[in-house]
């Protein structure tokens, strides 16, 4: 373990109460736009739609700041930040779950963004090492044309059936915080034996983007991913694609951003950090990339046709434990994939 996390367990009740209970604050204002100028390097694991949404707002709100992006899996980018720690090359990292960030806390600079006043305390690190940019739900992305006569799954347990062997794809949890969140949750919900059985049905991809593309193109029947990633294909008109919110419950996890310790861009990096948390950006992300906002002052139903949180069963997981036991869990997961 590279470092300890101080993140508290985030359960659904705390999350929803915080989102409902905070008052709105003034939106991203002109003072921030004038705060700094310069070049900001953003390391991001997010897709092109999400990045484009942010850059579109930045063009208007931070005209004197140029944001360049370097993309990759969250685990890969965090290890790159670790390798560059003596001479940082990046300014911001966006994004990952606390269960992954907890192993890299020595790389982050505490920063209390003024925009965080509209984000529940449960979605912020107590020492301001990270702040949630949005909240994810885990889903199974289903391509009904590839089920081959097998009934569409309704639960996690359905995916353990021999009929799904070779039909499910997930990213490598060592590289993807999405995959780590999913597999950790299944292990806690159904137990190690069920996770081992699921491993026998899975194909593991090195890249999270491959999961989406493979299901959308009909190479696999099921992809395990986040709601926002999969819903883009539904919204795009692929009628064969649907989202499964498993009957036993699914997992909710905030997606966090961090300021890199020693960020070369200085004040410009902090201005870009604030921008990512602004109401304008979170609405843009919701409309363009279906990211549920972390802010309390945005009505999701006004901007996207996503199911209400109240209609989805959530199984709470402990992100502090997930971070502390990351290496142990990944080692056990690898043993399940080992050739027999």
Tens digit of each residue's pLDDT (9 = 90 or more) over 274-286: 999 999 999 999 9
Residue 8 has pLDDT above 60, yes or no: no
Percent of the chain with pLDDT over 90: 85
Alpha carbons 318 and 12: distance in angstroms, whole number: 11
Residues 155, 193 contacting (CB under 8 angstroms): no
For residue 59, the model assigns a pLDDT of 95
Q: Render pLDDT for 104-133 as a digit per residue (tens, 0 to 9).
A: 999 999 999 999 999 999 999 999 999 999
Q: What is the mean pLDDT of residues 51-66?
A: 96
Q: Which helix (H) or strand (E) holds 256?
A: strand 252-260
Residue 32 has pLDDT above 90, yes or no: no
DSSP 261-280: TT-TTTHHHHHHHHHHHSHH
Alpha carbons 28 and 265: distance in angstroms, whole number: 20
**CATH class of the region 12-135+254-306:** alpha beta
Reading the block at residue 335, the tokens are 């043993």
Backbone φ and ψ of 109, nearest 5°: -100, 125
Residues 32, 281 contacting (CB under 8 angstroms): no
For residue 104, the model assigns a pLDDT of 96
Residue 30 has pLDDT above 90, yes or no: no
Residue 80 has pLDDT above 90, yes or no: yes
Q: What is the mean pLDDT of residues 10-30?
A: 41
Tally of CB atoms within 10 A around 190: 18
For residue 139, the model assigns a pLDDT of 98
With tokens 């709470």, the residue in question is 316
Residue 22 pLDDT grade (very low, low, confident, very high; cuts 50, 70, 90): very low
Out of 1.10.3720.10, 3.40.50.1480, 3.30.413.10, 3.40.190.10, the CATH code matching 137-251+314-330 is 3.40.190.10
Tally of CB atoms within 10 A around 83: 9
Residues 98, 130 contacting (CB under 8 angstroms): yes
Indicate where the chain has its CATH 3.40.190.10 domain(s): 12-135+254-306, 137-251+314-330
Q: Render pLDDT for 221-257 as a digit per residue (tens, 0 to 9).
A: 999 999 999 999 999 999 999 999 999 999 999 999 9
The CA-CA-CA angle for residues 21, 26, 27, to 5°, reads 105
Alpha carbons 267 and 220: distance in angstroms, whole number: 45
Residues 166, 202 contacting (CB under 8 angstroms): no
Alpha carbons 172 and 210: distance in angstroms, whole number: 11
Q: Render pLDDT for 179-238 as a digit per residue (tens, 0 to 9).
A: 999 999 999 999 999 999 999 999 999 988 999 999 999 999 999 999 999 999 999 999
Backbone φ and ψ of 49, nearest 5°: -60, -40
With tokens 């869990």, the residue in question is 329
Buried b (16+ CB within 10 A) or exposed e, 119-131: bbebbbbeebbbb
For residue 36, the model assigns a pLDDT of 65
Residue 1 pLDDT grade (very low, low, confident, very high; cuts 50, 70, 90): very low
Residue 163 pLDDT grade (very low, low, confident, very high; cuts 50, 70, 90): very high
Q: Please give the C-alpha separations between residue 202 and each of 155, 175, 221, 230, 247, in angstroms, as whole numbers.
A: 16, 16, 11, 18, 20
Least confident of 16-30, 89-103, 164-178: 16-30
Residue 11 has pLDDT above 50, yes or no: no
Residue 171 has pLDDT above 90, yes or no: yes
Residue 17 pLDDT grade (very low, low, confident, very high; cuts 50, 70, 90): very low
pTM of the model: 0.81
Residue 309 pLDDT grade (very low, low, confident, very high; cuts 50, 70, 90): confident
Residue 299 has pLDDT above 80, yes or no: yes
């Amino acid at each position: 373990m590279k470092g300890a996390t101080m993140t508290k367990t985030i359960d659904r009740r705390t999350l929803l109460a915080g989102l409902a209970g905070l008052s709105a604050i003034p939106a991203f204002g002109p003072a921030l736009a004038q705060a700094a100028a310069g070049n900001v390097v953003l390391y991001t694991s997010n897709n092109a739609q999400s990045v484009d949404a942010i850059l579109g707002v930045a063009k208007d709100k931070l005209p004197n700041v140029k944001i360049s992006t370097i993309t990759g899996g969250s685990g890969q980018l965090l290890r790159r930040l670790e390798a560059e720690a003596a001479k940082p090359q990046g300014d911001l990292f966006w994004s990952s779950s606390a269960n992954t960030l907890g192993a890299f806390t020595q790389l982050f600079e505490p920063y209390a963004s003024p925009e965080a006043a509209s984000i529940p305390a449960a979605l912020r690190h107590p020492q301001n090492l990270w702040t949630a940019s949005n909240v994810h739900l885990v889903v199974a992305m289903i391509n009904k044309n590839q089920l081959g006569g097998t009934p569409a799954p309704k639960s996690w347990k359905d995916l353990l059936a021999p009929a799904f062997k070779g039909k499910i794809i997930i990213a490598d949890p060592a590289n993807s915080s999405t995959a780590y969140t999913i597999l950790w949750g299944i292990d806690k919900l159904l137990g190690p034996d069920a996770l081992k059985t699921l491993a026998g049905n899975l194909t593991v991809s090195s890249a999270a983007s491959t999961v989406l593309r493979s299901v959308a193109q009909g190479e696999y029947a099921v992809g395990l991913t986040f709601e926002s990633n999969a819903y883009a294909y539904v919204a795009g008109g692929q009628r064969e694609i649907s989202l499964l919110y498993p009957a036993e419950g699914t997992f909710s996890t905030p997606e966090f951003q961090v300021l890199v310790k020693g960020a070369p861009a200085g004040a410009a990096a902090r201005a870009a950090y604030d921008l990512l948390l602004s109401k304008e950006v979170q609405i843009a992300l919701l409309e363009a990339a279906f990211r549920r906002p972390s802010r309390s002052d945005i009505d999701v139903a006004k901007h996207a046709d996503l199911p209400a949180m109240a209609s989805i069963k959530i199984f709470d997981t402990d992100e502090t434990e997930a971070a502390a036991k990351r290496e142990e869990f990944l080692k056990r997961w690898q043993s399940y994939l080992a050739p027999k």
